Structure 1
Amino acid sequence: MASVREFTLPDLGEGLTEATVVRWLVAVGDVVAVDQSVVEVETAKALVDVPCPYGGVVTARYGGEGAEIPVGAPLLTVAVGASQEETQQEPQQDAPPAAAARTEASAAQDENVHADAELVHAEAESSGNVLVGYGTGAPAGRRRRSRPVDGFRPPAAAASAPPPAPRAAEQGPVAVISPLVRRIAREHDLDLRGITGTGPDGLILRADVERAAGTREATGQTAPASAPLPEALPATQPVTQQATQPAAQQAAPAATDPGTATRVPLTGFRGTVADKLSRSRREIPDATCWVDADATELLAARRAMNSPAGTGEASKVSLLALLARICTAALARFPDLNATVDTEAREIVRRSEVHLGFAAQTPRGLVVPVVRDAHTMNAVRLGEEIARLTESARNGELTPGDMTGGTFTLNNYGVFGVDGSIPIINHPEAAMLGVGRIAEKPWVHQGELAVRHVVQLSFTFDHRVCDGGTAGGFLRHVADCVEQPAVLLRTL
């Protein structure tokens, strides 16, 4: 007799509450071994391959590509020691009619695969991969009868499908796991008890809340029933709302055509970036100062370091590595800026070690890898670590630990060809140094007008951790090191 074990999305660490399915690595009917990766998910931090702690035959998958799965919700079920007949019948017992039809159509195709289930039964007793909630050698969990949703589609596709029959409102706990789902519902004044959950066992997902909010906007219910309607609606409202406007307003051309708008959900990695930037602006009273610096001597010093006589067998030093070394030297002189603010305790937490983050552009967007213990590294070592993390970022191989725990961030936006910017502090850090492009400009050098390589440095800081004197001193020291690299010799 087969034992069906349900594998739920484990806690992937760093306080993550959900993940988005990017790609399934197994199909229903496949034989999986212990610790075999079964799905690739995107968390708010990185792409992660999730291994299954059980060996057997996959009988159901929960969520298609693009679906958001909360931590603790089912990912798939595995029949351990299943016979050929049992593995063919298992998806039909729990699946909705559409899924059952698909299972019946593919049963003959999967027949040879199901017969191999007995071969992996011995491996299912323990997993060498330690997942949160799945210890090594854990006993088999009780079998849960949940409805597979293998045919689930991302929210954009699911919106065109007829909605499932609504559940009757009931008292007691609401079927919501994710705090993000509750926050979105509050922002849109939605009652979660009136929303039908499409997740396992009626779980309300983020897509359900966003769909309900979009439906209410499309029908003109943009405010609670008790709120007074506005006297005049803007011309950008949907056509269904323009019927109640005065004729003069109806005749006015719309500023935008709602039919051509494209909605991009702020989910996964992009949603986390949006939340973090919004939190930074909301919580941190930031201020910015900037200065132009003559970087001619810094470029000359770098050429000398990387000359055949200067390098020897060592790696070449990048400009970003030199700027990183300047930052660690400046933070040693102004440690107040290597800090965070504990808002609940109303305390400034100053850090003795420098974990230096740096902005890196990748196909997934802007990420901030962190160089651990940067204060212990010279320019060559910093360059090697920056190069390693940059390569991992571009290949999508950064782990959540590679992008958390920073105490200060260096942002070289000059690579985009811009001179200046006012960066947003990477919460919960207290400061960020921005570096613009290095361009040839007229400059007074030794009392004469000359063409020099000039860079604009901008410094944004949390005004709670220090006043302008400290911030100005930090930025001035950085500029001095850029203009006269020999200043660094004092701290080496």
Structure 2
Amino acid sequence: MTTEVRSLREFKMPDVGEGLTEAEILSWSVKPGDTVTDGQVVCEVETAKAAVELPIPFNGVVERLFFPEGATVDVGTVIISVAVAGEAGAAAPAAAAPVAPVAAPAEAEPARREVLVGYGPRTGGTQRRARRTTTTTVVAPAPAPAAPAPAPVAAPSVVLAQPTGDRPLAKPPVRKLAKDLGVDLRAVTPTGPDGVVTREDVHAHVAAAAAVAAPPAEPAAVAPVEPVVVATAGTGDVRVPIKGVRKATAQAMVASAFTAPHVTEFVQVDVTRTMKFVRRLKESGELGRDIRVSPLLLVAKALLTAIKRHPEINAQWDEAAQEIVIRGQVNLGIAAATPRGLIVPNIKDAGGRTLSGLAAALGELIDTARLGKTSPNDMQGGTVTITNVGVFGVDTGTPILNPGEAAILAFGAVRELPWVHKGKVVPRQVTTLALSFDHRLVDGELGSRVLADVAALLEHPKRLITWG
């Protein structure tokens, strides 16, 4: 005769990207008492690189959430405990159940954890026990935030769109907006496709809550604006926490600026033919019916072609080995502005793609970044970057290198300017390119040749066919 016993299993914050040491808990999708199954998403976290949903690797009932939403947690720290059912002999003492069974599955746990992004097997699990007691003591008040519904928006609870146990459908930027405004997404009526909560739904919910329950002075406190904190004239100081993507970007840029000696060169280019070529590709659809074509595509192709002619610029400085590593393939980074800040995902082996393949990859990269779905893997291993400052109406700049890369190209705004063409001053479409490079790896001659090649290809885009 066997009896069913329950033991506590702990789920630790995984390393969801190489080298990351911490992550912020954006939202919990479970609460104490909920039943969870192997592979079910229990929370969404934001690292310095991306937002990631974490699945639990076993079945059971949620016993405790160790941290509230918004908390920053070190990798390897227990974030949730689950009571799991199992079978044991009748001789197994009940008092030992919470401890002994935890160590028993240790051999099987690493294999289960590998389903998580970047989460490999971990050793020394028994050594973590002593730390767990310390962690438990520190976060003893944590059970209070386990219920994720914030108080400020409790008034319009009559418009609950879904049962409280369901996880509302919403994109990561919308979840962050709701969190910043103190909105429980389960109380928001979705209007998006397939019941997805949109940004407009969150703003409408906040406005409705203010109209129903707030006194006249309240709307200013819950103004339906973007989650980015903006100071206005006549107000006091505004403090914005430095974390997530913004924190990682700041650290990387400081490290780059004070490690690699930067040199930046500039050139103005007549891109009239390139702009005509872009229009032709759009109208003809020769790259594919659903492929988006933009000037950035031809700038990327021109840079990749120049790198093929001068592969030494696609390099990395290895300080430890005291070597220059010339990379075998070009992983082209594209700087993208997202709700979480500026990120630089990259197209793997961009130099080996056709123009249509590059266009498809570029479109997918940009769409994924705007949705906040860029994976940590997509932001690792970049070798050279393009930043398109022209979309903001900016002519040029002196871009800072991404750490580990030797060059970054800034593409400025395309403007109609007077230009000497075939001996006459006529209006032409002109842009400014700026190439920053690491002077340890790239001397002035190599940097100048690469920039001149890119300019020549954009001035005469037909050369992309012959040179590529």
Q: TM-score, normalised by structure 2?
A: 0.69
Greater mean alpha carbon deviation, residues 308-317 or residues 60-69: 308-317
Give the equivalent residue in structure 2 for 1:443: 419
Query: Which string of whole-angstrom CA distances, capped at 9 and with x for unpartnered residues, describes residues 73-108 of structure 1?
Result: 1101111139xxxxxxx9xx9xxxxxxxxxxxxxxx
Alignment of 1:224-373 (within 5 A): 260-308=236-284, 310=286, 315-373=291-349
Say if 2:72 is the partner of 1:68.
Answer: yes
Alignment of 1:399-414 (within 5 A): 399-414=375-390
Query: Which string of whole-angstrom CA distances, capped at 9 and with x for unpartnered residues, describes residues 246-284 of structure 1?
Result: xxxxxxxxxxxxx93222221122111110011110101
Provide the rounded CA distance (Å) in 2 between the counterparts of 1:15 and 1:426.
16
C-alpha displacement of 1:150? 2.3
Preserved contact between residue 113 and residue 121 of structure 2 (Cα < 8 Å): no
Amino acid at match of 2:442: C
Amino acid at match of 1:66: G
C-alpha displacement of 1:127? 4.5
Amino acid at match of 2:337: Q
Preserved contact between residue 318 and residue 325 of structure 2 (Cα < 8 Å): yes
Give the equivalent residue in structure 2 for 1:47: 51
Greater mean alpha carbon deviation, residues 433-442 or residues 73-82: 73-82
* Correspondent of 1:130 among 115, 124, 132: 115
Larger radius of gyration: 1
Provide the rounded CA distance (Å) in 2 between the counterparts of 1:309 and 1:428.
37
SS at match of 1:422: coil
The structure showing larger relative contact order (alpha-carbon pairs under 8 Å, at least 6 residues apart) is 2
| Runs of 4+, deviation exceeding 4 Å | 124-129, 141-145, 309-314
Give the equivalent residue in structure 2 for 1:393: 369
**1:472 to 1:152, Cα distance in 2 relative to 1, 3 A:** farther
Query: Which string of whole-angstrom CA distances, capped at 9 and with x for unpartnered residues, describes residues 8-48 of structure 1?
Result: 11222311111101001101111111121111100111111
SS at match of 2:365: helix
**1:283 to 1:126, Cα distance in 2 relative to 1, 3 A:** closer
Provide the rounded CA distance (Å) in 2 between the counterparts of 1:352 and 1:127.
34
SS at match of 1:415: helix
SS at match of 1:53: coil
Provide the rounded CA distance (Å) in 2 between the counterparts of 1:152 and 1:427.
41
SS at match of 1:336: helix
C-alpha displacement of 1:326? 0.5
Preserved contact between residue 8 and residue 71 of structure 1 (Cα < 8 Å): yes
Q: Identity rate of aligned residues, in percent?
A: 40
C-alpha displacement of 1:479? 0.7
**1:152 to 1:268, Cα distance in 2 relative to 1, 3 A:** farther
C-alpha displacement of 1:3? 0.6
Preserved contact between residue 356 and residue 371 of structure 1 (Cα < 8 Å): yes
Unpaired runs of 5+ residues, structure 2, are 87-94, 99-108, 146-234
Say if 2:38 is the partner of 1:34.
Answer: yes
Say if 2:11 is the partner of 1:7.
Answer: yes
Amino acid at match of 1:72: G
Provide the rounded CA distance (Å) in 2 between the counterparts of 1:389 and 1:43.
19
Preserved contact between residue 291 and residue 363 of structure 2 (Cα < 8 Å): no
**1:316 to 1:272, Cα distance in 2 relative to 1, 3 A:** closer
SS at match of 2:450: helix
Greater mean alpha carbon deviation, residues 11-20 or residues 416-425: 11-20
Provide the rounded CA distance (Å) in 2 between the counterparts of 1:303 and 1:357.
25
Greater mean alpha carbon deviation, residues 310-319 or residues 18-27: 310-319
C-alpha displacement of 1:421? 0.8
C-alpha displacement of 1:491? 1.9
C-alpha displacement of 1:126? 8.7
C-alpha displacement of 1:363? 1.3
C-alpha displacement of 1:51? 1.1
Say if 2:134 is the partner of 1:150.
Answer: no
Query: Which string of whole-angstrom CA distances, capped at 9 and with x for unpartnered residues, describes residues 331-378 of structure 1?
Result: 011111101101222211111211100111111121111001111112
Alignment of 1:371-382 (within 5 A): 371-382=347-358
Query: Which string of whole-angstrom CA distances, capped at 9 and with x for unpartnered residues, describes residues 127-183 of structure 1?
Result: 586343668xx99x9796534442578xxxxxxxxxxxxxxxxxxxxxxxxxxxxxx
Amino acid at match of 2:238: T
**1:128 to 1:400, Cα distance in 2 relative to 1, 3 A:** closer
**1:352 to 1:60, Cα distance in 2 relative to 1, 3 A:** same
Amino acid at match of 1:15: G
**Count of aligned pairs:** 347
C-alpha displacement of 1:328? 0.7
Provide the rounded CA distance (Å) in 2 between the counterparts of 1:383 and 1:25.
37
Give the equivalent residue in structure 2 for 1:59: 63
Query: Which string of whole-angstrom CA distances, capped at 9 and with x for unpartnered residues, describes residues 281-333 of structure 1?
Result: 01010100001000101111222223338567573532211111101100011
SS at match of 1:60: strand
Preserved contact between residue 434 and residue 459 of structure 1 (Cα < 8 Å): yes
* Correspondent of 1:77 among 67, 81, 90: 81
Provide the rounded CA distance (Å) in 1 between the counterparts of 2:69 and 2:290.
46
**1:403 to 1:125, Cα distance in 2 relative to 1, 3 A:** closer
Preserved contact between residue 20 and residue 68 of structure 1 (Cα < 8 Å): yes
**1:149 to 1:70, Cα distance in 2 relative to 1, 3 A:** farther
Give the equivalent residue in structure 1 for 2:179: none
Provide the rounded CA distance (Å) in 2 between the counterparts of 1:422 and 1:319.
20
SS at match of 2:462: helix
Alignment of 1:61-210 (within 5 A): 61-81=65-85, 127=112, 130-131=115-116, 132=119, 146-147=136-137, 148-151=140-143
Give the equivalent residue in structure 1 for 2:188: none
* Correspondent of 2:27 among 23, 29, 48: 23
**1:477 to 1:126, Cα distance in 2 relative to 1, 3 A:** closer
Provide the rounded CA distance (Å) in 1 between the counterparts of 2:34 and 2:337.
38
SS at match of 2:266: strand
Say if 2:431 is the partner of 1:482.
Answer: no
**1:53 to 1:316, Cα distance in 2 relative to 1, 3 A:** closer
